């Protein structure tokens, strides 16, 4: 896509940061009532048995574990220790400040450089990682429709919820394999998107365009980066999201809610997309408001929706940030300060949390 944009000017980066900070403060002010309502439900966390929290943490560790595996598939020279600590540290750095992707990217490269990874290699490989993960997330609405057709509710037991994860996983992998092995669906989607861009360009009088084959080219780049490991990479990307989704499912079961799995999946997808908005740390405010709203629409009482959302965000956002600080300290203890210069800027994955 080619978008006309004004040329750079002195102080442009500072202005952009100022705009992001200003929009972030406005957003937090707008969402303040919702955030306060969520925080006021914190004392109710004692209703949740600690065993549910242990299970949620275990599921989140599995989610991150598949992300580390995905990193090693695209960067085979990276050890498990470096893959895990670099991802946790960069994830934490990118989420504690608004628009922190550049900060997280700098942290990520300096830690990956221990394994001899150059900025160019890491940039290409991590672009593939991000692309695979985003593709898996984009498949969630289709998977939600499949679950809706199946009419699968969440009973009091977690077993059917885990089975739902088993249904979701092959659906995501199937869509991923289809996008890798076939060209026609991607080309048709590219044609539709190019027409949408053309309509938007005409309406806004902008010189915007999109090559219908852009999606195919990006797919080829991703496949080129992962090589013969593409199927395992698709599996890892899918399981990364599936286990994080099961954290939300577990939180709902823990508070005694009884929604439909398909609607929970839509609420989860809403939260994952909103977490990518870079104006507040980790999408704070956006995710809590959007996810709670979608859960209430699915038939969950507002109290249960608030409590489940709070429990989910503690496990999926705040605990990983703390883990990121610990990962950085462990890394520094083993390798010391890394001073390799950067020849490119990386943007870390995520993770929709």
| The pLDDT of residue 64 | 96
Nearest to 72 by CA among 57, 91, 87, 59: 87
Counting other chains too, the contacts that 41-47 makes at CB distance below 8 Å and 24 or more residues apart are: 41/303, 41/306, 41/307, 41/310, 42/310, 44/303, 44/307, 45/307, 45/310, 45/311, 47/255, 47/307
Report pTM.
Answer: 0.74
| The pLDDT of residue 258 | 79
Give buried/exposed letters for 176-189 (b at 16+ CB in 10 A, else e). beebbeeeeebeee
φ, ψ at 153 (rounded to 5°): -90, 170
| The pLDDT of residue 341 | 41
The residues with which 153 forms a beta bridge, in sequence order, are: 260
Q: Over its length of 353 residues, how does the chain's per-residue pLDDT go in tens digits?
A: 444 444 444 455 666 667 666 776 787 778 888 888 888 988 999 989 999 999 999 999 999 999 999 888 888 888 999 999 999 998 998 888 766 677 777 788 788 877 777 766 666 666 677 777 777 777 776 666 666 655 555 444 444 444 554 555 565 556 656 666 667 766 776 677 677 767 766 766 677 766 777 666 666 666 666 667 777 888 888 899 989 999 999 999 999 887 677 778 888 888 887 787 777 777 888 889 889 988 988 889 999 999 999 999 999 999 999 999 999 999 999 887 654 444 444 444 444 44
Nearest to 2 by CA among 135, 138, 194: 194
The CA distances from residue 348 to 85, 102, 122, 231, in Å, are 13, 8, 10, 22
Residue with tokens 């403060």: 25
Enumerate residues 6+ apart whose C-beta is below 8 A from 183: 216
């Amino acid at each position: 896509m080619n978008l006309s944009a004004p040329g750079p000017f002195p102080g442009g980066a500072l202005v952009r940061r100022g705009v992001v900070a200003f929009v972030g403060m406005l957003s937090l002010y707008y969402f303040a009532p919702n955030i306060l309502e969520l925080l006021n439900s914190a004392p109710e966390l004692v209703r949740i048995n600690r065993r549910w929290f242990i299970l949620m943490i275990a599921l989140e560790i599995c989610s991150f574990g598949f992300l580390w595996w995905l990193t090693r598939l695209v960067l085979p020279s990276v050890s498990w220790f470096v893959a895990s600590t670099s991802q946790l540290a960069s994830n934490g750095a990118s989420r504690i400040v608004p628009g922190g992707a550049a900060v997280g990217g700098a942290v990520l490269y300096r830690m990956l450089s221990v394994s001899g990874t150059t900025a160019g290699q890491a940039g290409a490989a991590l672009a593939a990682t991000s692309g695979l993960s985003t593709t898996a997330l984009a498949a969630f609405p289709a998977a939600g429709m499949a679950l809706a057709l199946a009419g699968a509710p969440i009973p009091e037991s977690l077993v059917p919820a885990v089975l739902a994860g088993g249904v979701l996983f092959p659906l995501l992998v199937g869509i991923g394999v289809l996008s890798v092995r076939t060209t026609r669906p991607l080309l048709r989607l590219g044609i539709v998107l190019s027409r949408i861009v053309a309509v938007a360009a005409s309406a806004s009088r902008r010189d915007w365009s999109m090559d219908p084959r852009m999606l195919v080219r990006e797919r080829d780049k991703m496949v080129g980066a992962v090589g013969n490991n593409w199927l395992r990479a698709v599996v890892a990307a899918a399981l990364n999201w599936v286990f994080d989704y099961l954290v939300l499912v577990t939180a709902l079961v823990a508070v005694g809610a009884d929604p439909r799995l398909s609607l929970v999946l839509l609420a989860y997808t809403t939260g994952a997309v909103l977490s990518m908005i870079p104006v507040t740390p980790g999408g704070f405010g956006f995710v809590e408001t959007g996810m709670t709203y979608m859960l209430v629409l699915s038939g969950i009482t507002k109290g249960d929706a608030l409590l489940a959302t709070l429990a989910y965000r503690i496990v999926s956002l705040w605990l990983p940030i703390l883990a990121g600080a610990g990962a950085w300290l462990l890394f520094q203890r083993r390798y010391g300060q890394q001073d390799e210069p950067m020849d490119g800027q990386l943007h870390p994955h995520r993770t929709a949390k």
